[in-house]
């Protein structure tokens, strides 16, 4: 007789037939860093805008736990944010200086992933250049290619365009190849949705929609002309085809949990590694519910990560990366 419960009858049997595991090697830890002292991020309990010293310490602690990949997000002071985001391509800017320092300290033990998008550097908070109330595509792409190159020269292992401009992968790949950076990987934010779940992140960076960002009525108030409509799935496959053609190395779905159907479809439709980003809102919802006593933090953290892996993600970017490894 078939009894499905036989395979669940003891912890040993359950672990013998367990299909999915999340290990330190699957995880990428996103970190915010800034000049000056560390600060708590109110919208993301447990996460900080780290001083450079605290960032180095956090990386060292994480390496001891088996983590090795870090996604770097600079917090840029308002006085460096401009309409044209020119600080993004400064070879001695905060990100570039910090990459060099991390690589001097930890060498090739760390994999550094840098964000390629203009939003930390624009006074208006958009990922692209704005002209006459519109986000310019090709002008932005030219700048993103320069930005990725500056990051690669500083020592970034993986550049990760999160901007959703058309044909940025092609332009970045060309710039890297021409400068002999043949081994620099591109992890594309292939299907990045215009999601409410980025709210806490924008608060962390004082970006679009946060109280701190310059409020203008003559610019788009959201990112819907470049990030994808949450209602669309086939369009994600079109973006996937483009990124494969343009020689991305890793493709990403973002956010993760509410988009697990997209993760699953990516897995069926490419041989490339698939990454998924458990974004700030996914993290903060779990933290908030746990603080209210509605759910168990550790259990929710583990179940959320296993569900993303089970959906088909080979790699998961998560603010829980370190806390998860501490419990392994
Ligand atoms: C911006 C960027 C965003 C995130 C990563 N890169 C936010 C946005 O598009 O507004 C979100 C990450 C998160 O919410 O954790 N290029």
| Nearest CA, atom 12, ligand 1 | 279
Q: Is 214 left (phi over 0), alpha (psi -120 to 50) or beta?
A: beta
* Mean pLDDT computed over every residue of the chain: 96
pTM above 0.85, yes or no: yes
Whole-number Å distance, alpha carbon 118 to ligand 1 midpoint, is 11
Q: How far is CA 271 from the centre of its chain?
A: 21
CA distance 259 to 312: 11
Share of the chain above pLDDT 90, in %: 94
> Can you tell me the mean pLDDT for 182-200?
98
Query: Which residues are CB-contacts of 290 (< 8 A; sequence separation ≥ 6)?
Result: 296, 297, 300
Looking at residue 260, its pLDDT comes to 98
pLDDT at position 325 is 98
pLDDT band for position 223 (50/70/90)?
very high
Count of CB atoms situated within 10 Å of the CB of 22: 23
Question: Which residues are registered as beta bridge partners of 131?
Answer: 134
pLDDT for residue 34: 98
Peptide bond into 255 cis (omega under 30): yes
83: pLDDT strictly greater than 90: yes
Q: Report the residue among 119, 195, 213 best suited for mutation to probe ligand 1: largest number of ligand atoms under 8 A from its CB.
A: 119
| Mean pLDDT of the 58-87 span | 97
Nearest CA to ligand 1 atom 7: 198
In angstroms, what is the span from residue 277 Cα to ligand 1's centroid? Answer: 10
| H/E segment holding residue 315 | strand 315-318
Examine the pLDDT at 208 and tell me if it is beyond 90.
Answer: no
- Is pLDDT of 168 > 70? yes
pLDDT on residue 214: 64
Q: Which residues line ligand 1 (CB under 6 A)?
A: 115, 117, 119, 127, 162-163, 198, 201-202, 223, 279-280
Portion of the chain with pLDDT greater than 70, in percent: 98
pLDDT value of position 74: 98
Q: 189: which residues sit within 8 A by CB, 6+ positions away?
A: 160, 161, 162, 163, 164, 252, 254, 277
Residue listed under structure tokens 């439709």: 269
Q: Tens digits of per-residue pLDDT, 275-324?
A: 999 999 999 999 999 999 999 999 999 999 999 999 999 999 999 999 99
> What residues act catalytically?
192, 254
For the record, the structure tokens of 128 come out as 């692209």
Burial of 259 (0-12, 13-18, 19+ CB in 10 A): buried
Q: Residue 222 has which token pair?
A: 């959201």
Question: In this predicted structure, what is the pLDDT of residue 215?
Answer: 64
Is the pLDDT reported for residue 212 higher than 70? no
pLDDT of residue 218: 84
Ligand 1 nearest-atom number relative to CA 280:
15
Q: Which of 76, 113, 201 to mutate to test the pocket of ligand 1 (most atoms within 8 A of CB)?
A: 201
Q: What is the average per-residue pLDDT within 259-281?
A: 98
Q: Using the atom order of ligand 1, give the atom closest to the CA of residue 208.
A: 10
CA of 163 to the centre of ligand 1 (A): 9
Give which of 207, 191, 188 is closest to 199, Cα–Cα: 207
Give residue 205 CA to ligand 1 midpoint distance, Å: 9
For residue 42, count CB atoms less than 10 angstroms from its CB and return exposed for 0-12, middle for 13-18, buried for 19 or more: exposed
In this structure, of 36-40, 70-74, 219-223, 267-271, the range with the lowest mean pLDDT score is: 219-223
Task: Give, using CA atoms, the residue closest to atom 14 of ligand 1.
Answer: 198
Q: End-to-end alpha-carbon separation of the chain, Å?
A: 37
Mean pLDDT, range 86-108, rounded to an integer: 98
Query: Ligand 1 atom closest to Cα of 279?
Result: 15
Q: What is the pLDDT confidence band of residue 207, given thresholds at 50, 70 and 90?
A: confident
CA of 179 to the centre of ligand 1 (A): 28
**Residue of 88, 116, 127 to test ligand 1 pocket, by largest number of atoms within 8 Å of CB:** 127
Q: Which residue has the least CA distance to atom 6 on ligand 1? A: 162
Stretch 194-223: mean pLDDT, rounded? Answer: 84
Rounded Cα–Cα distance for residues 217 and 189 (Å): 28
Instruction: State the closest ligand 1 atom to the C-alpha of 281, by its place in the atom list counted from 1.
Output: 14
191 SS3 class: strand
Residue 58 CA to ligand 1 center (angstroms) comes to: 21
3-class secondary-structure state, position 69: strand
pLDDT at site 175? 98
Residue 33: the pLDDT is 98
Sorting pLDDT into bands at 50, 70 and 90, what band is 213?
Answer: low
């Amino acid at each position: 007789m078939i009894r499905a419960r036989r395979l669940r009858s003891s912890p040993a049997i359950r672990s013998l037939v367990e299909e999915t595991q999340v290990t330190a090697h699957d995880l990428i830890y996103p970190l915010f860093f800034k000049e000056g002292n560390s600060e708590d991020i109110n919208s993301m309990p447990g996460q900080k805008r780290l001083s450079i010293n605290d960032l180095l310490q956090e990386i060292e602690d994480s390496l001891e736990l088996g983590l090795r990949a870090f996604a770097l997000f600079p917090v840029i002071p308002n006085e460096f944010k401009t309409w044209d985001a020119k600080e993004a391509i400064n070879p001695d800017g905060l990100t570039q200086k910090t990459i060099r320092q991390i690589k001097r300290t930890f060498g090739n033990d760390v994999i550094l992933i840098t964000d390629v998008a203009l939003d930390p550097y624009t006074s208006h908070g958009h990922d692209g250049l704005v002209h006459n109330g519109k986000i310019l595509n090709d002008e932005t792409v030219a700048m993103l290619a320069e930005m990725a190159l500056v990051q690669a020269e500083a020592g970034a292992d993986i550049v990760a365009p999160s901007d959703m401009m058309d044909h940025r992968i092609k332009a970045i790949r060309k710039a890297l190849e021409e400068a002999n950076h043949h081994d620099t990987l591109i992890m594309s934010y292939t299907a990045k949705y215009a999601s409410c779940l980025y709210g806490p992140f924008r608060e962390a960076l004082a970006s679009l929609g946060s109280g701190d960002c310059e409020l203008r009525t003559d610019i788009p108030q959201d990112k819907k002309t470049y990030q994808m409509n949450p209602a669309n799935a086939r369009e994600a496959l079109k973006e996937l085809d483009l990124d494969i053609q343009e020689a991305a190395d890793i493709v990403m779905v973002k956010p993760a949990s509410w988009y697990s159907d997209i993760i699953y479809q990516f897995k069926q439709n490419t041989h490339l590694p698939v990454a998924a980003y458990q974004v700030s809102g996914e993290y903060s919802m779990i933290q908030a519910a746990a603080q209210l006593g509605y759910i168990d933090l550790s259990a929710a953290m583990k179940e959320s990560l296993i569900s993303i892996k089970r959906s088909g993600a080979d790699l998961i970017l998560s603010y829980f990366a370190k806390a998860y490894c501490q419990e392994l």
